[in-house]
Structures are given as structure tokens and as C-alpha cells.
Amino acid sequence: MEVSYLTKTLVMFATFTTLALAQTYGGGGTRIGFYKSTCPKVESIVQSVVQSAVQAKPTNAPGILRMFFHDCFINGCDASLLIDGASTEKAAVPNSLLRGFDVIDAAKSQLEKTCPGVVSCADILALAARDSVVLTGGRSWQVPLGRRDGLVSRGSDTANLPAFNDPISVQIKKFADKGLNIQDLVTLVGGHTIGTAACGVFSYRLYNFNNTNGPDPDINPSFLPQLRALCPNGGDRSVRVALDTGSVNSFGSSFYTNLRNGRGVIESDAKLWSDPTTQKFVRRFLGYRGLLGLKFDVEFGKAMVKLGNVGVKTGKQGEIRKVCTATN
């Protein structure tokens, strides 16, 4: 009995230790409280800058969230997306409509005055993405820090970004290549609950989808006139439309309700419902009876921590930039 009791005690201790470490360390060398002694005000400074920016211009919130996603998907979360230059990631077509770069630059400028040479641009972007979600009504999460900034930024690498018309199989492959599973995919795409898309990104679905002379059948017929009114055939391709109808500036699970109702704007989003591989996770977020439910706001934070540890650079792999727009 003594051996059995001791064994159980050791197992329980190991379990609690593992949970504690999981809460403290995000993986890839990052951890909670990384700047506790070197720059204790880092989170409050970033939060203040992001809050002012979002209040002045609500589109900054989805812009910063997209920026974080695009940065992490291209050679890891290393702020390589922020580097200026004619052939950099920032200048590439898939990133041409991103916004919020000035917000990250402003936070970096303030941090350099408070803690010069300490906080990476990659960590600022990770914190700003979290704050953007919170400021639009999402739940907060602890962001493991300790990333260093990348030294290379190539526009050609953006070819690996998930695309607006990727089939589910391709989406799954691209996420799996980053160590992210199908649930992570469905969860992170839920970030489209805030923000907009240009008509040029999806209007092909409205008129002559796949040369059928008709719309994409995944679009609810009752939703089609609304999209066509916003994006008339041959009209202005730069007009922007909410990705989550009725929730453009409010973070929540309504995005999945719209997918179920055939009101997904982007083709790759709509496929999350039409493909059974991903639909089962959408159903779990919607609380379908008989399925183990998932709370979107909780799972989103967990998935963001996983995303934030993709390709993290530590030690001599990177640097702490003096400005986010250029390497030292």
C-alpha cells in the first residue's frame, strides 16, 4: 500500500508540475514574465498604444491580428513582416492590404525610451495581437514572450501563406506544416469575426464561379443579393465588406453561425462548413447537441499561443531591433 500511495503521489506531483510549466512556458523558448525584471511595464505600454490606435481607428484591431498571423506563417513569429524594402514580405502582394504597422512602430518607439534594446518587435506584435482581440470584446490570455527579431525578409516566401481560395486539404496541410492541427485551423480562422475583405478577393464567387455562369453554391441565396449590391459585377474591387456580417468590430463566435447559414464571405472560410473534416469543429463551437462543446474565446487564446511559438528565434538566431522597420 505504501508503494502504491507513493506512486500515486509522484504521479500527481508530476502532473501538477507539467501543468504549471505549460502555463509558464509557451514552447520554443518563450515564457510568461520574460521581461519581469528587464522591462516590467512592457505589457501596459503596448496595451496603451494599441488602445489609443483602435479607439482612433477600429480597423487597426483586425489589421494587427492579421499582421501577427501573416508574420508567424512566414518563417516563424520573428517580425520579419515589419521590415521595409522593395523585395520584403511587407511589399509582397498577399500583404499589400495589411494595416497597423504604424501602431507597432509607435509601441516600439515608446519601449525604446523606457527599456532601450530590450523588447523585440516580435514580442510587441504578439502582445498587440492579444490586445486587439481584447479591445474588440474577446477574452484575454497570457502571452509567452522571449522572441527575437528575424534577420531576413523575402517577399517570395509569402507564397506559403494560406490563400482565400485554398481547398480544405491545402489549408490543413499549410497549418500542419506549422505544427497546427485541424482544430487550430478552424479556431484561428475564427479571427475573421472582426475585419473586412475587399470585393476583389471574393467577388468571383458571386457571378461566374468556376465558369458556371452562376454563384458559388456555398452562398445562401438570401445572402447573395446583399453581397452583389456591395460588389456589383465589374464594380470597385477595393470596396470592403465585413467578413462576419453584423460583427465587423466585435469579437465572438457569430462568425461560425454565419458559416453555418451560408453567409461566409471568403471561399476558404465557407469551406469550413461545407467540408465535413472541418465542419465538425464548427459544430462544436456552435454547441451542437451530442458533441463535446468548445468555447471559442478560450480556444482562440490557446491557439494563438501555439501560433505564437511557430518558428520562434532565440539567442543568436535573431536580434533585438532598434526599430521594427529595419535590421540592426
Active-site annotation holds for 140 = no
Is 89 annotated as belonging to a binding site?
A: yes
The annotation status of 102 as a binding-site residue, yes or no, is no
Flag whether 264 is marked binding: no
The helix or strand, by DSSP H or E, that contains position 7, with its residue range, turns out to be helix 2-24
Sign, Cα dihedral of 211, 214, 219, 223: positive
| Residue 78 among known ligand-binding residues | yes
Range 166-192 burial, b when 16+ CB lie within 10 A, else e: bebeebbebbeebebebbbbbbbbbbb
State the alpha helices, DSSP H only, in 25-59: 42-56
Q: If DSSP codes are grouped into helix, strand and coil, which group holds residue 206?
A: helix
- For 161, the grid coordinates are 501563406
* Angle at CA of residue 101, ends 296 and 316, nearest 5°: 90
User: What is residue 242's three-state secondary structure?
Assistant: strand
80 is in an annotated binding site: yes
> Cβ distance 264 to 189 under 8 Å?
no
Was 274 annotated as part of a binding site? Answer: no
112 has binding-site annotation: no
DSSP-derived pairing of the beta strands 25-27 and 196-198: unpaired
| Angle (deg, nearest 10), helices 168-176 and 276-285 | 70
Beta-carbon neighbour count of residue 112 at 10 Å? 16
- CA triplet 71, 73, 79: central angle to 5 degrees? 20
Q: Among the options 39, 54, 66, 70, which is catalytic?
A: 70
Q: Element (H or E) spanning 128, and its range?
A: helix 121-135
Residue 226: alpha-carbon gap to chain centroid: 27
> CA 252, 257, 262 angle in degrees (round to 5)?
135
Tell me the binding residues for Ca(2+): 71, 76, 78, 80, 89, 193, 244
Tell me the binding residues for substrate: 162
Tell me the binding residues: 71, 76, 78, 80, 89, 162, 192-193, 244
Q: Indicate which residues carry an active-site annotation.
A: 70
Tell me the binding residues for heme b: 192
